[in-house]
């Protein structure tokens, strides 16, 4: 088993576009979607961007597909995340937003993390210019397929394991792993997005409850202080959801979900291959001294689990081969893998009056 790639993963640069294996490219794939690097410098203001379409919406942000205004063909596409300052303040997410930007900068060029190109702000919004992954969320593929076959789940879990190992080596806990935050790029590889809950924790524990109900770990729910081990728990939930189509802990109400998580009892259908069952059970272990990924070998131990038998880790991180599911793009800028969103009229809560600016805008000074 190849595990040497791991140390390498910590400083792995994105392979230059010409190093990609052109032979197994599919014809419909526009080359420019992959080769962002050789384009003109990315835009640095919202005025320089042509907003094409909304790709996603959050409680205080929107993500737009944008193309730079002054550019000849082939056009380069980006994802522009726009965060409304007023909502960021109102929802007490200032710290999370700062973390998002600084951690994305730390992770720039990791092959499986969405690359940040620029960030800026104007009077009422913060902007983060990101790499665009045209395949949309893994979530869509999974709900469509209901379940992924073992090799598909294994492939995604392996790429995400490399991401977690990388983040943890840098002292970063991610805290929101779920299919909705995993994008698929043009060659079928994962791109982790939304670092709003990521935080540099080093070896310390942290206390702010955040994540997604079905993916929270028992120590987060019980406010015991949590650390990087929460990501390994979430990986277990993700593997389960990928192979079965629904998460291991679900209920009608959030409190119902939390009760089940705290009990940490998982049921598996009898037909499930034992390697899958075993890795999920080991990752979703309440006892921190027994949770896979949190023990002596750290992430290496996860990589060595028989669930990953057959994975060549070095090849995987070099993205030598394409992923198991490839978005079929009919034209550059085809957004068929994204939901349709109507631009929302800003609510009164989202306006950023002068008084608020005077009081709070210093919080964004370093953005």
Partner 1 sequence: MSLPALYLEEIDALSRKISQAQPIDILQFCANHFHGRLEAERNQHLASQSSTSLSSMVNPFAMASDTFPGTFGGFGGGPFDGSRDAIREEEEELHSPTAPTFKPQFSMGGMGGRPGSSGSGRRTHSPSGGGGGGPRRPMHVAGSPFLSPSGGSHLGPPSAGQDFPSNYNRNRRTSVSAESLVPTTSDDEWSPPIHPKTSDQMNRLRAAVSNNFLFAHLDEEQDSQVLHALVEKPIPNKGMRVITQGDVGDYFYVVEKGDFDIYVNSAGRMMPGPDGMGKRVTSIGPGGSFGELALMYNAPRAATVISTSSDNILWALDRVTFRRILMENTFKRRRMYEAFLEEIPLLSSLITSERSKIADALDTETFEAGAIIIREGDPGDRFYFIEQGVAEVHKSSQPGGYVRTLNKGDYFGELALLNDAPRAATIVAKSKVKVAYLGKAGFQRLLGPVADIMRRNDPRLGEGVDPLAGPGGFDGSIDVMQGPFGMGRPVEV
Cα 5 to Cα 2, 77, 160, 187, 312: the distances in Å are 7, 31, 14, 21, 9
Annotation says 176 is catalytic: yes
In the region spanning residues 223 to 282, those forming contacts with partner 1, defined by CB under 8 A, are: 223-225, 227, 229, 243, 245-246, 250, 252-255, 258-259, 262, 269, 271-276
Helices (H), 245-288: 254-263, 274-283
What does the longest C-alpha to C-alpha distance in the chain come to? 61
Cβ–Cβ < 8 Å for 139, 173 = no
Residue 10 interacting with partner 1 (CB under 8 A): no
Residue (62 or 117) nearer to partner 1, CB: 62
Return the closest-CA partner of residue 239 out of 129, 328, 157, 143. 157
State the number of binding residues for partner 1 (CB under 8 A): 101
Residue (127 or 156) nearer to partner 1, CB: 156
Helices (H), 53-147: 85-90, 94-106, 138-145
Residue from 2, 22, 122, 205 in contact with partner 1 (CB under 8 A): 205
In the region spanning residues 139 to 158, those forming contacts with partner 1, defined by CB under 8 A, are: 139-141, 143-155
Query: What residues are paired with 130 via a beta bridge?
Result: 79, 116
Q: Of 176, 185, 194, 231, which is the active-site residue?
A: 176
Binding mask 77-96 for partner 1 (x = CB under 8 A): --------------xxx-xx
Segment lying near partner 1 (by CB under 8 A), choices 106-114, 123-131, 323-331, 346-354: 323-331
Residue (28 or 38) nearer to partner 1, CB: 28
* 3-state DSSP assignment of residue 71: coil
Compute the distance between CA of residue 140 and CA of residue 135 in angstroms, rounded to an integer.
Answer: 9
Binding mask 24-53 for partner 1 (x = CB under 8 A): x-x-x-------------------------
Compute the distance between CA of residue 361 and CA of residue 149 in angstroms, rounded to an integer.
Answer: 49
Return the closest-CA partner of residue 9 out of 299, 226, 340. 299
Residue from 202, 346, 351, 353 in contact with partner 1 (CB under 8 A): 202
Residue 174 interacting with partner 1 (CB under 8 A): no
Residue from 290, 347, 353, 359 in contact with partner 1 (CB under 8 A): 290
Catalytic annotation, residues:
176
């Amino acid at each position: 088993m190849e595990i040497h790639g791991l140390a390498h993963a910590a400083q792995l640069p994105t392979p230059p576009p010409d190093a990609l294996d052109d032979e197994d490219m599919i014809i419909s794939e526009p080359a420019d979607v992959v080769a962002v690097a050789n384009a003109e410098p990315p835009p640095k203001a919202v005025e320089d961007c042509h907003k094409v379409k909304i790709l996603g919406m959050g409680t205080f942000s929107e993500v737009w597909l944008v193309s730079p205004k002054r550019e000849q063909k082939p056009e380069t596409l980006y994802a522009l995340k726009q965060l409304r300052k007023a909502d960021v303040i109102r929802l007490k997410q200032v710290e999370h937003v700062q973390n998002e930007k600084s951690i994305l900068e730390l992770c720039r060029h990791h092959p499986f993390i969405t690359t940040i190109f620029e960030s800026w702000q104007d009077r009422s919004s913060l902007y983060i210019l990101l790499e665009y992954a045209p395949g949309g969320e893994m979530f869509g593929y999974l709900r469509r397929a209901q379940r992924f076959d073992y090799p598909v789940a294994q492939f995604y879990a392996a790429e995400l394991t490399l991401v977690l190992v990388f983040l943890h080596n840098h002292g970063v806990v991610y805290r929101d792993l779920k299919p909705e935050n995993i994008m698929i790029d043009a060659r079928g590889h994962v791109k982790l997005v939304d670092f709003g809950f990521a935080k540099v924790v080093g070896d310390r524990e942290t206390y702010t409850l955040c994540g997604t109900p079905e993916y929270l770990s028992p120590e987060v729910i019980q406010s015991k202080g949590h650390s990087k081990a929460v990501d390994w728990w979430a990986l277990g939930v993700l593997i389960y959801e990928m192979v079965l189509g629904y998460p291991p802990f679900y209920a009608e109400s959030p409190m119902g979900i939390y009760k089940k998580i705290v009990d940490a009892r998982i049921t598996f259908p009898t037909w499930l291959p034992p390697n899958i069952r075993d890795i999920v059970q080991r990752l979703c272990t309440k006892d921190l001294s027994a949770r896979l990924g949190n023990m002596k070998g750290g992430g290496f131990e996860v990589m060595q689990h028989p669930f990953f038998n057959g994975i060549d880790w070095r090849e995987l991180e070099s993205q030598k081969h394409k992923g198991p599911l490839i978005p079929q793009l009919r034209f550059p800028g085809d957004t068929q893998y994204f939901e349709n969103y109507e631009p929302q009229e800003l609510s009164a809560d989202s306006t950023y009056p002068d008084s608020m600016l005077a009081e709070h805008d210093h919080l964004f000074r370093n953005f």
